[in-house]
Amino acid sequence: MTTLEQASKLKVRFGELLSEPVGVRGETTVRLTDTERIAEVCGFAKNDLGFDYLVDISSLDNYGEDPRWTVVYHLRGLTNRCELRLKTDVSEEKSELPTVTGVWRTADWHEREIYDMMGIRFRGHPDLRRILMWEGYPYFPLRKDFPLAGKPTQVPEVAFTQVAPLEGGPFVTTPGGKNAIEREPRVRTPEE
Partner 1 sequence: MSDVQDIEFRDPAAQAASVVEELQNMQGEKMVLNMGPSHPATHGVLRIVLELDGEIITRAVPDVGYLHRGDEKIAENMTYNQFVPYTDRLDYLAPLANNVAYALAVEKLLGIHDQLPPRCQYIRVICAELARISSHLLGVGCFAMDVGALTVFLLTFTEREKIYNLCESLTGARFTTSYTRIGGVSRDTPPGWCDAVRKFVNEVVVNIAEVETLLTRNKIWVDRTRDVGVISKADAIDYGLSGPNLRGSGVEYDLRKAQPYLCYRDLQFDVPVGSVGDCYDRYLVRMEEMRQSVRLIHQCLDKIPGGFDNPSKEPVNVNDGKIVLPPKNRVLSGMEELIHQFLLVTQGMNVPPGEIYFGHENPKGELGFYIYSRGGGTPYRLKIRSPSFVNLSILSHLMPGHMMSDTVTILGSLDFVMGECDR
Task: Give min distance, CB of 106 to partner 1, in A.
Answer: 3
Q: Does 4 bind partner 1 (CB under 8 A)?
A: no
- Interacting residues with partner 1 between 143 and 182 (CB under 8 A): 146, 148
Binding-site member from 4, 5, 13, 29 for partner 1 (CB under 8 A) = 29
DSSP 19: P
Dist CA 26 CA 74 (whole Å): 14
Q: Which of residues 45-84 bind partner 1 (CB under 8 A)?
A: 52-56, 58-61, 72, 74, 78, 81, 83
Taking every pair of Cα atoms in the chain, the longest distance, rounded to a whole number of angstroms, is 77
**Least CB distance from residue 49 to partner 1, whole Å?**
15
Nearer to partner 1, 4 or 142 (CB): 142
Q: Which is nearer to partner 1, 41 or 86 (CB)?
A: 86
Handedness of CA 39, 49, 74, 108 (dihedral sign): positive
Looking at beta carbons only, is 60 or 172 nearer to partner 1? Answer: 60
Cβ contact 86:41 at 8 Å: yes
Residue among 16, 87, 81 at smallest CA distance from 49: 81
| Site track 96-135 with partner 1 (rule: CB under 8 A), x = hit | --------xxx-xxx--x---x------------xxxxx-
| Residue 51 C-alpha from the chain's centroid | 21
CA 90 to chain centre: 13
The residue from 12, 24, 181, 187 that contacts partner 1 (CB under 8 A) is 24
Q: Minimum distance between the CB of residue 16 and partner 1, rounded to whole angstroms?
A: 24
Nearest to 143 by CA among 87, 88, 92: 92
Q: At what angle do helices 3-14 and 38-47 cross, to 10 degrees?
A: 130
Nearest C-alpha neighbor of 50 from the set 10, 14, 87, 12? 10
**Interface contacts to partner 1, rule CB under 8 A:** 24-25, 27, 29, 52-56, 58-61, 72, 74, 78, 81, 83, 85, 104-106, 108-110, 113, 117, 130-134, 141-142, 146, 148
